[in-house]
Amino acid sequence: MPTDLFAVNGRVVSASEATVSVLDLGFLRGVGAFETLRTYGGGLPHALHEHLGRLWESSAAFGLQPCFTEATARTLIGELQRRSGHDEIRVNFVVTPGSNTDGVFGADTPTWVLIARDVHAPPERSYSEGVSAVTFEATRHLPALKTTNYLVGKTGIQLAERSGAHEALYVTAKGYVTEGVTSNVLIVKGRRVLTPIVDCLAGITKAGIRPLATAQGLEWYECNLTRDDLYTADEVWITSAVRELMPVVRVDGRSIHDGAVGRWARTLRALYHQQCISEAKRDAERASSGSR
């Protein structure tokens, strides 16, 4: 029977043993960074190097140095996947400064956790029929980083849930759509792909799709987008590590174009999925030959 498994400070443990102190600054003061990736090809992590790079960039915001290596993470992911019994897993890394020792933010020893759960990839219907999204006015705290502070996103997700939507998209006070609560946002107009790069996370999925899109003859623009840009787009996409490229066919109750999944979403999602499989395999081979 497959089970979810955890690694707490490098030790693989079951759910009941996967605990951290109530004095942990992640719990006490909401200080933490995280990453999510998924495996392909039977437990091989995709873009581990990139996700760890971003994890350390985010955690540098609260003064944390890298506290484990890529090789350790790769070994742990392999062990977690094998012992969990899941074919593929989604892995959340969470790092915090650790238990409060003195003052408001004092801590000596970071806490780092890997959470390995069934990948729970979205159903194929989400890709063949598309999903809907709503917009809401808010900005994530430190939007260039992936901190554990997602409180503001909860408002958006509640709004999405109330209207049966899959994702909520942040809109700034100036009226710019920046990203989803857990995804990046892109649109297609003619042969142009347009995506914001201000007030949002530099998505690893989005970066991986870019060369595939340009190889298909699409031009890639980084620019501000308004709600109207979305409403009048030919296609709207959201991207994230687990969802890859997901087509959005309704925004705020309005159909995008003819309300069907566009050709570029279909083409690029298929290409990106294949690319993830081969990159995960290539990285595993490089790691085992010692070149990464």
Ligand X SMILES: Cc1ncc(COP(=O)(O)O)c(C=O)c1O
Distance CA 283, CA 51 (A): 13
Q: CB–CB of 142/30 below 8 Å?
A: no
Identify the DSSP state of 120. -
Q: CB–CB of 254/232 below 8 Å?
A: no
Q: Which is nearer to ligand X, 94 or 241 (CB)?
A: 241
Both tokens of 6, joined, read: 């955890």
Total count of residues recorded for the chain: 292
Distance CA 191, CA 214 (A): 10
User: Which span (20-28, 63-71, 176-184, 186-194) binds ligand X, by CB under 6 A?
Assistant: 176-184
Smallest distance, ligand X to C-beta of residue 183, A: 5
Q: Is 36 in the site for ligand X (CB under 6 A)?
A: yes
User: C-alpha distances in angstroms, 76 versus 46, 87, 255, 282?
Assistant: 14, 16, 44, 18
Select the residue interacting with ligand X from 59, 184, 195, 275 (CB under 6 A): 184
User: Which span (19-27, 58-66, 80-88, 182-190) binds ligand X, by CB under 6 A?
Assistant: 182-190
Q: List binders of ligand X among 256-285 (CB under 6 A).
A: none
Distance CA 166, CA 217 (A): 29
Say whether 90 sits in a helix, a strand or coil.
Answer: strand
User: Which span (16-24, 63-71, 199-207, 245-253) binds ligand X, by CB under 6 A?
Assistant: 199-207
Q: Is 100 in the site for ligand X (CB under 6 A)?
A: no
Q: Taking each helix axis as running N to C, give the angle between helix 70-84 and helix 263-288, from 0 to 180 degrees, rounded to the nearest 10.
A: 110
Q: Which is nearer to ligand X, 38 or 98 (CB)?
A: 38
Q: Which is nearer to ligand X, 64 or 91 (CB)?
A: 91
User: Which span (77-85, 158-166, 196-204, 271-279) binds ligand X, by CB under 6 A?
Assistant: 196-204
Q: List binders of ligand X among 203-242 (CB under 6 A).
A: 203-206, 239-241
Q: Is 179 in the site for ligand X (CB under 6 A)?
A: yes
Q: Can you give the binding site for ligand X, defined by CB under 6 A?
A: 36, 179, 182-184, 200-201, 203-206, 239-241
